[in-house]
Structure 1
Amino acid sequence: MTARSTDESPLALALRENVPTDALSEQILDAAREQFMTFGLRRSTVDDVARRAGVSRVTVYRRIGNKDSLVSACLLREYRRFVMEVDEAVAALPTTEDRLVEGFTAVLRHIREHPLIGGLLRLEPETMLPFLTLDSGPAFLAIREYLAERLREARIAEGRPSSDPIPVAELMVRITVSFLLNPVSCFELDDDSQVREFARRCLVPLLAAG
């Protein structure tokens, strides 16, 4: 079973599309989120989600689709929320450097505290691992482009010379994934101040290099 029903990853879709939803679909996705957080993907069925949502199995199929579609839709919504949280965290900051530091900190904090992604990593690491490694190509490119575009916009807003933000964005993604896969570090990932210090010392200089 795979959580992707199209050639594009849920993350790529989340960053490109604005798919409308409705109250009943949200109710079903809320139930799916709770189900997956509690029991994981393998042990969850469409019937489980339908019972938790208080609707029929047929309603789930009509509104969302089969189990693959349900997982994809659930993750897609989480990715959208993640993007919004990062944007909100950096929107009011005055400089590109500040946005990079706070954006990197927000990404690590979100992953660290996320009940669904973190829960799935604990319950079914073998299910989630491919999405972060061998099968992560489309998602990797999508989030790299998202971060690069935000860095590019910050440069333009400051009236500063343009530079290629993709290398910095790629390093941010790769470092974040490495922390997610192996949280052992010389600084505390639970301490935002240490994460910010790392970003200023190790990532900010890359902006000038870029």
Structure 2
Amino acid sequence: MVAETGRKTRVTTSASAQETAILAAASDEFSSVGARRANIDEVAKAAGVSRSTLYRRFPNKDSLLLAVANDAFEKGLSRLEEAVEGLGPSEAVVAAFTAGAEMVHTDPLLRRMVLEDVELRTITAATMSGLFIEMVTARVASTLRRAGAQMPDDELSEAVDLHVRLVISFLEVPSAEPGRQTVEYAQHLAATYLAPMIR
């Protein structure tokens, strides 16, 4: 439900709906102007919530940015899982890397976080903790197992852990060569070096 206050529209629905609206508005703001110039008041206004409501959930800009990044990564993982449905394990690795590269190039927030905004990368690097790596590794390994991977669990986990760490390295320190920032190059790397690791 939305209520008119005379000056701006306020979201009066549940806390989860408010949080969804805040994350969507913040994603647009960070995508448009980056971390340094992002304005929390503009985020609150676009989300239809008061400044105090926003700050109750996200006490500062960094916490809001990390929440936006985590939301983007979760949605990205879901999109990758959809991209590999029905494929064998090697084909799934290539399809996932290709889809991931496409998302980085076409999603405004991911593009700014990965390729364009050093400050955003510095702040979101905090999400790349050991626990984050373990969580992503377990989820990807499970996806590859469903795709038909036959290797023992410990070997599959080790191979996927290496894949995840390579992706993080590319995200944190992208290549300076434009030719290595393309979807085609990501596909080539996956097909040539990564897919053969999964059996």
Q: Counterpart of 2:169?
A: 178
**Is residue 165–residue 207 contact of structure 1 (8 Å, CA) maintained in 2?**
yes
Quick one: distance in 2 between partners of 1:188 and 1:41? 25
Q: Counterpart of 2:52?
A: 58
**Is residue 58–residue 64 contact of structure 2 (8 Å, CA) maintained in 1?**
yes
Shift in Å, 1:150? 1.7
- Structure 2 matches for 1:131-142, cutoff 5 A? 131-132=124-125, 136-142=129-135
Query: Per-residue CA shift, 1:117-165, capped at 9, x if unaligned?
Result: 3214566414523644896433233222222222223236xxx454521
Quick one: distance in 2 between partners of 1:161 and 1:121? 32
- Structure 2 matches for 1:63-142, cutoff 5 A? 64-67=57-60, 68-93=62-87, 95-121=88-114, 124-129=117-122, 131-132=124-125, 136-142=129-135
Q: TM-score, normalised by structure 2?
A: 0.73
Q: Counterpart of 2:198?
A: 207
Structure 1 gap segments, 5+ residues each: 1-19
Shift in Å, 1:185? 5.8
Q: TM-score, normalised by structure 1?
A: 0.70
Among 126, 147, 152, which residue is 2:140 paired with? 147
Quick one: distance in 1 between partners of 2:115 and 2:103? 16
Shift in Å, 1:85? 0.5
**Is residue 18–residue 49 contact of structure 2 (8 Å, CA) maintained in 1?**
no
Shift in Å, 1:50? 1.2
Q: Counterpart of 2:6?
A: none
Structure 2 gap segments, 5+ residues each: 1-13
User: Root-mean-square deviation (CA), in Å?
Assistant: 3.1
